[in-house]
Amino acid sequence: AGKRNGRGKITFYHRDMEHEEAEERQIAHDLHAALLLDQLELHYQPIIEADGTVCAAEALLRWRNRGRGYVPPDKFVRVAEKSEMIHRLGEWVFKRACRDLKSSGYPRFSVNVSGAQFRNDGMVDMFRRVLRESGCEASQFTLEITETVVLSATPSVQRALKELREMGFTIALDDFGTGNNSFALLRDLPVDYIKIDKSYTQRLETDKITQIFVTAIGEIAKELDMIVVAEGIETEEQQTCSRIAGAVRFQGYLHGRPEPIRGQQRPAAVLEQVAS
């Protein structure tokens, strides 16, 4: 514990911040190297329909660093978003997903796109170029727009999304309900899927307010011709509850964990398990 007096607390707080900044600089440096040395991986988690058919898989970044071990994507994506590195990272992810698609056995992939990538005027062209170079079709991909940084429906964001949809991409709003302007985004952005955040799906069974909230999202989605996907499904009960609330696609440990595609399987199995 720090000192009790005000001055002491401020100093203590200050040191924490400095420590955090130093760690972020180090992560940024290591991530840059990992990109150059091709040390990142994508794992894929199945997404299923109500009848059990696997309709897609979501690509999820994995990074195991020599020194720091497994670094969760939440953490290093947030660091990358603070600089231009997010654009490189985004391109790496889409290139790798295109490369993996055919051999994966999945009919289509969902790929996460950070809101910060929209700062790059060249983003839409990047998607176009990578598709051309890889021979993949936009219709084989859903782009999950993550609201990790404040994503607002500015004219340039709207234009970019419109172009991506016209190219044939499906657009999903990820982690729905966790941002502070989720409903405004829904009204103002052209999206096809809504992904209900796992913090909601996992509370559906027990929490009445969550049930009302998710059911409302389901109704809005129906009205707007959007598809509701429930993520973080770990139990049959959670699946049943989210289906009642209007979800028609499901993703979670109940159906499969994120894993490397066959042929890339490592003896050490799943990276997350190495982490803790």
In the complex, the residues that contact ligand C2E under the rule CB under 6 A are 45, 59-61, 72-74, 77, 93, 112-114, 144, 146, 148, 174-175, 198, 231-234, 251-253, 258
| Nearest CB to ligand C2E, comparing residues 252 and 260 | 252
Closest contact distance (angstroms) between CB of 17 and Mg ion is 25
Closest contact distance (angstroms) between CB of 32 and ligand C2E is 16
Nearest partner of 65 among 50, 55, 75, judged by Cα:
75
Q: Which of 30, 100, 174, 259 binds Mg ion (CB under 5 A)?
A: 174
Q: Is 147 in the site for Mg ion (CB under 5 A)?
A: no
Closest contact distance (angstroms) between CB of 141 and ligand C2E is 12
Q: Find the DSSP H helices in the chain.
A: 6-36, 73-80, 85-104, 123-134, 155-167, 182-188, 198-201, 208-223, 236-244, 271-275
Closest contact distance (angstroms) between CB of 112 and ligand C2E is 4
Q: CB of 172 within 8 A of CB of 145?
A: yes
Give the binding range for Mg ion (CB under 5 A) out of 25-33, 126-134, 142-150, 157-165: 142-150
Q: Is 144 in the site for Mg ion (CB under 5 A)?
A: yes
Q: Which amino acid is at 34?
A: A
Cα torsion 109, 114, 115, 120: sign: negative
**Partner touching 73 among ligand C2E, Mg ion, none, CB below 5 to 8 Å by kind:** ligand C2E
| Nearest CB to ligand C2E, comparing residues 16 and 23 | 23
Cα gap 25→37, rounded to integer Å = 18
| Nearest CB to ligand C2E, comparing residues 60 and 226 | 60
Tell me, by CB under 5 A, how many residues bind Mg ion: 6
Cα gap 242→223, rounded to integer Å = 18
What distances in angstroms separate CA 271 from CA 30, 36, 71, 90, 214, one per listed residue? 18, 21, 10, 21, 32
Chain residues binding Mg ion by CB under 5 A are: 112, 144, 174-175, 195, 231
